[in-house]
Chain A
Amino acid sequence: MSEPLLSIENLITRFPTKRGRLTAVDGVSLTLERRETLGLVGESGSGKSVLGLSVMRLVQPPGMIEAGSIRFAGTSLLDLSTDEMRRLRGQRLAMIFQDPTATLNPVLTIGEQIGEVLRWHLPSIGPAELRERVVEMLDRVGIPNARQRFGDYPHEFSGGMQQRVIIAAALILNPALVIADEPTTALDVTVQAQILDLLRRLKDGEPETAIVLVSHDLGVVGEMCERIAVMYAGNLVEVAPADDILDDPKHPYTVGLIASIPRLDREVGALNPIPGRLADPVTPPPGCKFHARCAHAFERCRVERPVLKTLVPGRQVACHLHD
């Protein structure tokens, strides 16, 4: 077997804050195979976005990656210079964010913005070819009348269409890895369905691209992803094939997440929420960070931090119950 496309080891990303050091990503190890679609789920504040930004090396200073390694297609990302990293982004690695209006530059036409990605990476490209390639990409992401809309500004597009433009910019150079951070969270459900369908079709047409889909919505990742990683307070607590996670979750946090969701298919009476709320990332509790909310916690959970261990091949859980 060749090396995985992405392998993250013991990654720690922290932010200095007024209250003290905030550990957003706390020793995460994760691998991603070529062409894989992996879902990253967890409540807000669990560190999903910071993990994605860390891989892109886009963590906002003074936040920084303090430890660990990230290997991407044979290269150690943390050893690259800023320039080398910038070249890699866009070309081999791309990220899509939740809020399209914050991503797009309001004073540039969408043709200019997508063209900029191309020109940056292919300095010799002529204006006619550039235009052709941008129009073709806009067409592929389902922008109607792409040729006419090349010169339109972002505000002339709806939220869903803006997200298509961003997907076009992210994918125009056929990157090997796309990190999509809540790409449909700001959209209405029928628009979300269109965008998810688009991502699926693009992936079928471009089978070389691997996707990390970050979402707080288990329904979205359940449909889109082969594997799911569940994050809690900076740690991965469970990683497994999507079917296993959804049908037979092992970590009490994953169990709690699933039990909290109102169901579309039947009535459930009272919901079974996880008590309390997310552990504080500045002063995390000792032991398992979930222990104060966990119905199964026992003595060991209060003192010893569980590590992610392989339960059966392909399934990993960080919980003393499954040790």
Chain B
Amino acid sequence: MTEAASPLVEVSDLTVHFAGRGNVLGRLLGKGPVVHAVNGISFAIGRQEVLGLVGESGSGKTTTGRVLARLVPPTGGKVRLDGEDWLGLSGPALRRRRRNVQMIFQNPFASLDPKWTVERIVAEPLKTHERMGAPELRRRVASLLEGVGLDPRLMTRYPHQFSGGQRQRIGLARAMALNPQLLIADEPVSALDVSIQAQILNLLAELKASHRLSMLFISHDLAVVRHVSDRVAVMYLGTLVEIAETKTLYRSPRHPYTQALLSAIPDPTRRKSRKAIALKGEIPSPLNPPSGCVFHPRCPLAQARCAQETPKLRPLADGQWAACHLA
């Protein structure tokens, strides 16, 4: 395979376990409870592709994103970035490549230093990674702010002087400063009202096109994910249960969890036709995930083997994959 044709990101068998709260002795002996945040997931993100990652809270989406951004070390598995062993990089090699992967968050305020001006916030990555004089730096910051729809004259202000939508634009300007290949966007519009959310979604689409970005777009909102993603992956309790092209996934979801999730969304356009598939009970604890298929205790279709055998993510037709014995 030529490099251009290979995916930008290849994740294989990624596992992330956290030490849960337990007694100190247990932790010292490495025997405390373990949070199974991510359990052996594999997927790829193509060049200039937006992969949506959906699932309910606690399913492992943020953890997955943070591993890709190298903010959390995984327990196991591999991530290749542009053909390179991304998790294996360290030292100067890591510093050089780090600029290619940027992340933005749900709460931009928490990730923007309140004591810094917008100019300093956006200039920071440029100072770390590129050598340039003050006038050029300022020109670059101005053009980055313009690129995200902010008036460059506001660069002398502080984050608290901006609204939530504007702060997300500042976060984006900082993320775009180094022209990354991959943007990890973790619930970037979840805290925003719909009209502001729509403004930011349109901006993301523009940036994606102008910067030839690949994106991991994390959200619990399936309508938003449908809107921005080329393909969509669905997580449940640390497991990737289904992945497919966006149209395929929304038209014919094959995993019972995806089906239930899609059926649960109140949507103005189908308010009369919607028939929610009721799920029994609640999401089990990641401290002690169910045996076999992690979804089996709540699955309307579960059979005896579902409690014993873990279904593998298997290819179906049309690039759709699902981890279900019945799919």
With A160-B282, A188-B57, A264-B269 in contact, is A44–B223 under 8 Å at CB?
no
Q: Which residues of B contact A19 (CB under 8 A)?
A: none
Residue of B nearest to A293 (CB): B195
Q: Which residues of B contact A275 (CB under 8 A)?
A: 199
Contact with B along A196-213 (1 / 0, CB 8 A): 110000000000000000
A216 in contact (CB, < 8 A): yes
Within A34-61, which residues are at the interface with B (CB < 8 Å)?
43-44
With A190-B56, A264-B223 in contact, is A277–B165 under 8 Å at CB?
yes
Whether B196 contacts A277 by the Cβ 8 Å rule is yes
* Among A160, A246, A264, A278, contact of B265 (Cβ-Cβ < 8 Å): A264
Q: Which residues of B contact A246 (CB under 8 A)?
A: 268, 271
* Among B194, B263, B279, contact of A261 (Cβ-Cβ < 8 Å): B194
CB proximity of A186 to chain B, nearest CB, Å: 10
B140 in contact (CB, < 8 A): no
Q: Which residues of A contact B197 (CB under 8 A)?
A: 260, 273
A311 in contact (CB, < 8 A): no
Q: How many B residues have CB within 8 A of the partner chain?
A: 42
Instruction: Provide the bound-state CA to CA distance between A273 and B279, in Å.
Output: 34
A257 in contact (CB, < 8 A): yes
* Among B194, B268, B274, contact of A216 (Cβ-Cβ < 8 Å): B194
With A43-B193, A277-B163 in contact, is A262–B261 under 8 Å at CB?
no
Whether B276 contacts A197 by the Cβ 8 Å rule is yes
Instruction: Provide the bound-state CA to CA distance between A256 and B196, in Å.
Output: 11
Whether B261 contacts A189 by the Cβ 8 Å rule is yes
Contact with B along A234-273 (1 / 0, CB 8 A): 0000000010001000000000111111111101101111
Within B274-292, which residues are at the interface with A (CB < 8 Å)?
274, 276, 278-279, 282-283
Q: Which residues of A contact B199 (CB under 8 A)?
A: 273, 275
Q: How many A residues have CB within 8 A of the partner chain?
A: 44
A-B contact count (CB 8 A): 120
Q: Which residues of A contact B221 (CB under 8 A)?
A: 262
Instruction: Provide the bound-state CA to CA distance between A161 and B228, in Å.
Output: 33
Instruction: Provide the bound-state CA to CA distance between A196 and B266, in Å.
Output: 10
CB proximity of B235 to chain A, nearest CB, Å: 12
Q: Which residues of B contact A261 (CB under 8 A)?
A: 194, 198, 223, 268
Q: Which residues of A contact B261 (CB under 8 A)?
A: 189-190
Instruction: Provide the bound-state CA to CA distance between A257 and B266, in Å.
Output: 16
Whether B193 contacts A44 by the Cβ 8 Å rule is yes
With A188-B56, A260-B195 in contact, is A217–B260 under 8 Å at CB?
no
Whether B198 contacts A263 by the Cβ 8 Å rule is no
A103 in contact (CB, < 8 A): no
Whether A274 contacts B266 by the Cβ 8 Å rule is no
With A43-B194, A44-B193, A261-B223 in contact, is A223–B282 under 8 Å at CB?
no
Instruction: Provide the bound-state CA to CA distance between A274 and B222, in Å.
Output: 21
Q: Which residues of B contact A219 (CB under 8 A)?
A: 265-268, 271
Instruction: Provide the bound-state CA to CA distance between A217 and B163, in Å.
Output: 21
Q: Which residues of A contact B115 (CB under 8 A)?
A: none
A191 in contact (CB, < 8 A): yes
B41 in contact (CB, < 8 A): no
A288 in contact (CB, < 8 A): no
CB proximity of B196 to chain A, nearest CB, Å: 6
Whether A216 contacts B266 by the Cβ 8 Å rule is no
Whether B260 contacts A271 by the Cβ 8 Å rule is no
Q: Can you list 24 A-B contacts (CB < 8 A)? A: A43-B193, A158-B282, A160-B282, A161-B282, A188-B56, A188-B57, A188-B220, A189-B261, A192-B264, A193-B263, A193-B266, A194-B278, A194-B279, A242-B271, A246-B271, A257-B194, A260-B194, A262-B228, A264-B267, A264-B270, A271-B198, A277-B163, A277-B195, A278-B193
15 more CB-based (< 8 A) A-B contacts, given A193-B264, A264-B269, A277-B163: A190-B264, A190-B279, A216-B194, A219-B268, A222-B268, A223-B271, A260-B198, A261-B194, A261-B198, A261-B223, A262-B201, A264-B223, A264-B262, A268-B227, A277-B196
